[in-house]
Amino acid sequence: MVNFDRVYEDILSYRSKEFSHFVWANKKCNPRLAVEQPTRPSPFQHKQAVLNSLKIKDLLDKLSITLNVSKDELGTQVKRILDEIAYKKNLNIIRALAIALTKICLKVCNGIQVNFNGISKLKSYMGQCPVIFVPTHRSYADFIIFSYVCFTYDIEIPAIAAGMDFQGMLGMGEILRNTGAFYLRRAYSDDPLYWTTFKQYVYQLVTKGDLPIEFFIEGTRSRSNKSLIPKYGFINMILKAFFFSEVPDILFVPVSISYDRILEESLFAFELLGIPKPKETTKGFFKSLKILKEHFGNVYIHIDDPISAKAFLGDKVDRSVHSLSPLYQQEMTDEEKSLISPFGYEIVRRQQNANVITTFNLVATVLNVNLSLGNEFMSIDMLLAEVEYLSLILTNLGAYIFEQNFRQGLQQSLVVHQNLIRIQSNGAIGLVENSIVLDAANLSKLKGHTFSQEVMNYSVPFVMLQMYTNPVLHHLKDVAFIGVVLKSVPNLDKDELFQHFKFLKSLFANEFVSFNDWLEKDYDAALEHALTENLIVTKNASYALAGTAKLNNIFRNSIEPFFMSYFVVLDVLLKSSNFCEEKNILVNAQQWLEYVIDQRDVFIHPYCLSLETLGNCLNSLCNMGVLKKRIRNKAALFEIDQHKVEIVKGRLEMYIPEVSVILNFNKHGKNKL
């Protein structure tokens, strides 16, 4: 259950009042550990334990015979792998970074808001079993800021699973390692020595370590600022220790980290449009320090109640099966593996429910609706009224909105986001007109279609604005689905409406992180909310749309870009051969959308161009059996069932009648594609 005991304190405010950050950073440390032990294990001891483990010795015996390589040589390789992976802890470096981060945050942030009660509860749970922090991943700043929070509240800084990208940064990789980062390669499934060594290292940290462990269940930063489908590899490694009865329990702590303004917002917009992210380098890190001249508002960190593996999983499996043979020779059973997926989705859902909605999330949603209706600007009084109206709706839907003084919050938002929002001389507020300059190197590496400079300039601000709307969609989407259905197919009984709802939830399962086991509960909750908000009414055991135009626009326009993107993908698939490469599909979809956007005859939100959304559509269609994905020459190839594509497209088209307007471009000879 989500912890709605929302009492926040600004930990940065304490630093702003002190005479010396040096004195604070050099305080006596007696941090709360995940597992209290008579003698604390050192990072070196963990490496030695892995090297001497029966699992590794057994692997070396087998590989020595298979590869005709001496065990000593293989053992040397394991040592090198462990040196590459393993974390270190240097308190002096941690203290120095605490001072540096304090100075940076005081310069660019209003505050770092942390739910104090969540910290207090967490510390009371720690000491008896492994503790796993699972934060959302919206920025590279996530793990740095969360470690800063741990240091502030005297919680041991966790061992943090980090990508090898950071390890390769000259100097920075080793600094991060000394604060607890341990590194994993992005791809290593074809290297049994590395794979087994890494898994055994994680197993060692869980079963014999005293530090909390931190990993990002989404696997990568979310460029769209909404939750991604959970990845199971790391959670699988951690839960193995519980299933093998090596630990009495494991506590997973969902952590939601939100930002008034995301550090990488413009880079993420470029990536969503197809421009690859720049490589992480030390030089790039120092170039990024130009942010010290900008302002980013608040950071919000909500630590939710821990999820006990024992309570969630314990009565669903028989762990005694692992007592029949040596543990190092065993793997998890199929029954145990089947529990990983619902557990991962539960963590993501808890993160979503704990998320803090900021004033600018509301502003972005209101501006998006206004722009979708063809209004370029709105007055500040109108914007304030719409923000307050939306906040009431979202609060009723279970969202937590941090700001209560919306006039003050709006004024601060306009300062923080002056790079994105412009204010006319008459006080009217709208979106900036951006100017993007792309060099030839960037253009040659595009993952999708090469846009014209005009469309790129026009699209980037819209994409950035949608990124701040996306966190709100977790609360709006299900009610929006019901509203969209009933606008197109009125007077449905509960079972008929459920079938439409089920189809949309399935189609957008990758877009809005939906788990099939939640379907009926999600439907009942959405129906109740739609009735409470007077969006729909009941007539003779049937449901019909009833909300005001303003209410309908909020729900409908918030999700319309995703409907349009999916429709275009389906249209492209119907015009493709039975086998088509992923990049060709993405390029054709973006090209089609670029033409329509460039015509400006009808408003199409440029977020429809997002490669993430187009890719999510393809993945959902694979899950629905419409496509089959294969890998050929390291490129994704889709086998297309044209009949099934046509059925899905027909069903989706009934919910977006505006598509017929766009399709008329063909009839009038306007569409050259």
Spatial separation of the C-alpha atoms in residues 202 and 234, rounded to whole Å: 9
DSSP labels for 534-590? TSEEEETTEEEE---HHHHHHHHHHHHHHHHHHHHHHHHHHTS-SEEEHHHHHHHHH
pTM value? 0.94
| pLDDT given at position 437 | 59
Q: Which two tokens stand for residue 596?
A: 């329509």
> H or E element: which one contains 86?
none
Q: Pick from 162, 154, 153: which is nearest to 182 by CA? A: 162
With H, G, I as helix, E, B as strand and everything else as coil, classify residue 12.
Answer: helix
> Residue type for 233, please?
G
In whole angstroms, what is the distance from residue 390 CA to residue 396 CA? 10
Sorted by where each begins, the domain ranges of the chain are 11-16+41-354, 360-432, 433-667
CA-to-CA separations, 50 to 3, 193, 197, 485, in angstroms, rounded: 38, 12, 7, 56
pLDDT for the residue 3: 40
- Secondary structure (3-state) at 315: helix
Count other C-beta atoms under 10 Å from residue 456's C-beta.
Answer: 22
Question: Do residues 98 and 25 lie in contact, with contact meaning Cβ atoms separated by under 8 Å?
Answer: yes
pLDDT of 622 reads: 97
State the Cα–Cα distance between residues 485 and 479, nearest whole angstrom.
Answer: 10
Contact of 85 with 204, CB cutoff 8 Å: no
Please report the DSSP string for 348-397 in residue order.
Answer: HHHHHHHPEEPHHHHHHHHHHHHHHTT--EE-HHHHHHHHHHHHHHHHHT
- The number of CA neighbours under 13 Å toward the Cβ of 518 is 18
The confidence score (pLDDT) of residue 494 equals 96
Sheet containing strand 421-423, edge to edge, reads 377-378, 429-431, 421-423
Residue numbers of the chain with a pLDDT score lower than 70: 1-5, 168-170, 188-189, 280-290, 434-445, 658-673
Contact between residue 365 and residue 554 where contact means Cβ atoms under 8 Å apart: yes
C-alpha radius of gyration, the chain, whole number: 26
Whether 469 and 431 have beta carbons less than 8 Å apart is answered as no
pLDDT reported for residue 304 = 96
First vs last C-alpha separation in the chain: 51
Handedness of CA 84, 89, 91, 96 (dihedral sign): positive
| Per-residue pLDDT at 5 | 61
Instruction: With beta carbons less than 8 A apart as the criterion, state whether 396 and 529 touch.
Output: yes
Number of H helices, E strands in the chain: 29, 19
Distance CA 252, CA 235 (A): 10
User: Which residue matches tokens 């046509």?
Assistant: 646
625's tokens: 């059996």
What pLDDT score was predicted for residue 291?
Answer: 73
CATH code for the domain defined by 11-16+41-354 = 3.40.1130
Residue-level pLDDT at 447? 84
For 118-181, the three-class secondary structure string (H helix, E strand, C coil) is HHHHHHHHCEECCEEEEECCCCCHHHHHHHHHHHHCCECCCEEEEEHHHHCCCCHHHHHHCECE
The answer to whether 420 and 432 have CB atoms below 8 angstroms apart is yes
> Rounded to whole angstroms, how far apart are CA atoms 257 and 138?
8
* Paired sense of beta strands 400-401 and 356-357, if any: parallel
DSSP string, 222-248: -TTSS--PPP-HHHHHHHHHHHTTSSS
Which H helix or E strand runs over 626? none
